[in-house]
């Protein structure tokens, strides 16, 4: 039996669909999401991105080869040099200043998700860490594609969240998502059934924590 990334989403089908098709996503697509919920999400996502950059630093530390080291370095650079700059600019447009971002208290859902990923990487190997990162890396691209295929989605100037969808449907991001799937496909091909069961558990837990992250946004939870 040779495994691939699609076997992870198939093994966690219900959780994966609950993440991709969450009410937060649906409301964002149909332009019915409350602006306060989106702002709350944006603020917590700033903290999330900082810990995600740390997870890529951990991936560098866990890299046994130069090509893995380069992959981790590029991932960290993408977040620190591109994603976080874009995010701070995006927050500014939504009335959230850099000073406010620097002072934010961390919501429990942010704490749980980011520390889960870091702990999984600390106690496991590079594949465990990448599987914990995968719902984030692959899920957002799939969400943008799902929204574009959904009849209730409104695109363009009459949807205030249009720029968010545009970011994740863009070719640069979709290419990064495919590269991550290829990396995982190559490693999963050698996994035993017992190892695949361990990785499924990590993938499911990280997906459940993504669901909680959306719910935290909707509930304005702290």
- Using alpha carbons only, how large is the chain's radius of gyration in Å? 17
Judged by CB under 6 A, which of 21, 68, 83, 219 binds ligand VIB?
83
Judged by CB under 6 A, which of 24, 46, 48, 164 binds ligand VIB?
48
**Is residue 19 within 8 Å of residue 211, measured between CB atoms?**
yes
**Is residue 45 within 8 Å of residue 94, measured between CB atoms?**
no
**Is residue 15 within 8 Å of residue 212, measured between CB atoms?**
no
**Is residue 204 within 8 Å of residue 15, measured between CB atoms?**
yes
Contacts of 67 (CB under 8 A, 6+ apart): none
Helices (H), 21-170: 23-29, 35-61, 66-77, 84-93, 98-102, 108-123, 126-149, 162-169
For residue 88, the SS3 value is helix
Q: Which DSSP state fits 47? A: H
Assess 58 for contact with ligand VIB (CB under 6 A).
no
To the nearest whole angstrom, how small is the minimum distance from the Cβ of residue 1 to ligand VIB?
29
> By C-beta, is 191 or 208 nearer to ligand VIB?
208
Phi, psi of 200 (to 5 degrees): -60, -40
Q: Confirm whether 210 is a catalytic residue.
A: yes
Pick the catalytic residue from 12, 91, 136, 180.
136
Judged by CB under 6 A, which of 18, 47, 50, 78 binds ligand VIB?
78
> By C-beta, is 11 or 179 nearer to ligand VIB?
179
Q: Confirm whether 136 is a catalytic residue.
A: yes
**Residue length of the chain:** 222
Find the binding residues for ligand VIB in span 156-175 (CB under 6 A).
Answer: none
Assess 183 for contact with ligand VIB (CB under 6 A).
no
For ligand VIB (CB under 6 A), the number of binding residues is 12
Assess 16 for contact with ligand VIB (CB under 6 A).
no
> By C-beta, is 191 or 206 nearer to ligand VIB?
206
To the nearest whole angstrom, how small is the minimum distance from the Cβ of residue 144 to ligand VIB?
10
Assess 20 for contact with ligand VIB (CB under 6 A).
no
Contact residues for ligand VIB, defined by CB under 6 A = 45, 48-49, 52, 78-79, 83, 136-137, 140, 210, 213
Q: Could you give the residue numbers annotated as active site?
A: 136, 210
């Amino acid at each position: 039996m040779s495994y691939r990334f699609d076997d992870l989403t198939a093994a966690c089908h219900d959780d994966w669909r609950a993440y991709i098709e969450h009410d937060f996503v649906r409301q964002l697509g149909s332009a019915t999401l409350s602006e306060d919920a989106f702002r709350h999400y944006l603020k917590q996502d700033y903290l999330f991105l900082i810990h995600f950059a740390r997870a890529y630093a951990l991936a560098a530390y866990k890299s046994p080869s130069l090509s893995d080291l380069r992959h981790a370095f590029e991932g960290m650079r993408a977040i620190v040099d591109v994603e976080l700059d874009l995010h701070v600019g995006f927050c500014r447009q939504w009335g959230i200043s850099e000073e406010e971002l620097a002072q934010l208290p961390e919501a429990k859902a942010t704490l749980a998700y980011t520390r889960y990923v870091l702990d999984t990487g600390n106690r496991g190997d590079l594949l465990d860490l990448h599987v914990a990162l995968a719902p984030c890396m692959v899920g957002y691209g799939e969400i943008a594609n799902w929204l574009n295929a959904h009849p209730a989605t409104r695109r363009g100037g009459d949807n205030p969240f249009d720029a968010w969808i545009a970011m994740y449907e863009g070719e640069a991001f979709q290419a990064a998502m495919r590269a991550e799937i290829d990396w995982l496909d190559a490693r999963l091909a050698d996994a035993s059934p017992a190892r695949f069961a361990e990785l499924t558990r990590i993938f499911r837990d990280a997906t459940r924590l993504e669901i909680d992250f959306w719910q935290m946004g909707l509930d304005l939870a702290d």
